[in-house]
A and B are shown apart, each in its own frame.
Chain A
Amino acid sequence: MNKENWEEEILNSLHGLQRAKPDPKLYAQIRDRIFDGRRVLPRTYVLMTAACLALLLFANLQVLQRPQKQSSSQVSSYSLDNTNFNLYP
């Protein structure tokens, strides 16, 4: 066989190639790594959890700030009332 024919034969040796398939056990290994082992959470879940936590923190801060405002207003109204009693002439 001459050189050109040999090269052509080599270059055409992939004609009719069938796709190679992985070992059937491979899926179980991948599944274990994703769903059982160190659980890999989808990004949407992580983002939603972070958003919920932020919302919860914000709501808590709002609740904590509210009574402080009420007490300060009560004190000021009390002191105002106190000055209007004219107890000491």
Chain B
Amino acid sequence: MNVSLHQALLAQIALGSESAFAEFYTIFSSRVYNTALGYLQHAEEAEEVTQDVFIKIHQSADRFTGSSAVSTWIYRITVNLALDRLNYRKRQKRFGLVVSFCRGETLEPKIELPVFDHPGVVLEQKEEARILFQAIDTLPEQQKTAFLLSFVEDLPRQEVAEVMEITLKAVESLLQRAKSNLRSRLSDLQAERRI
């Protein structure tokens, strides 16, 4: 990974260079998109978040202090914007529930996300990965972030800690709790499948 190249590109982006921005996009777009996709489990929304991330990068390139790696900074922006989008989605869902309640309809949520298939999963694991993503969606934010960065983005634990601005030990603890919660959720899902 060429850290100085990334910083040089950011400096050029801050001066308004379009070619530097294009090169920067080529390097980081799949990392941003893949991370956003892990959270949102929806291709179009993940693309919208990717757009927002790169616009934010363009706007704040001159504010990058170099206190962390460029990739860490980008992951931080991506995680924050993806979580914002998830919260927005939750608010929309709650609003929909209130509206349907006021209309005297049932409290069943009407808009459910379609079943998510990650395009990068190996073919033989598609069914299992589909169930796993369904379970990941139920994790609390911090556990979800630690799990997605570790297993979907395959980042080293130390980098996960830097992105999340927590200690390595805290990341390990979050991953342990995430796995435990996933096991419990999977156990429920298996019970539901038997019924």
Contacts and interface: CB of A to CB of B under 8 A. Distances in A.
Interface of A: 3, 6-7, 9-11, 13-23, 26-27, 29-31, 33-35, 40-45
Contacts of B29: 21-22, 26-27
B86 interface: no
A27 B25 CA distance: 8
29 contacts: A6-B190, A10-B131, A10-B135, A11-B183, A11-B186, A13-B131, A14-B125, A14-B132, A15-B125, A17-B120, A17-B129, A17-B151, A19-B31, A19-B34, A19-B120, A20-B37, A20-B120, A21-B29, A22-B47, A26-B33, A30-B54, A31-B18, A33-B51, A35-B18, A40-B58, A42-B14, A42-B59, A43-B63, A44-B14
Contacts of B63: 43
Interface residues of B, number: 47
Given A3-B190, A16-B125, A20-B46, 11 more contacts: A13-B132, A19-B30, A19-B120, A22-B47, A27-B25, A30-B55, A35-B18, A40-B59, A43-B59, A43-B60, A45-B16
A20 B58 contact: no
User: At the interface, is chain A mostly helix, strand, loop or mixed?
Assistant: helix
B22 interface: yes
Contact of B121 (A14, A22, A42): A14
Instruction: Output the residue of B15, B29, B61, B135 with the most chain A CB within 10 A.
Output: B29
Instruction: Output the residue of A13, A16, A41, A45 with the most chain B CB within 10 A.
Output: A13
A30 B52 CA distance: 8
Contacts of A18: 119-120
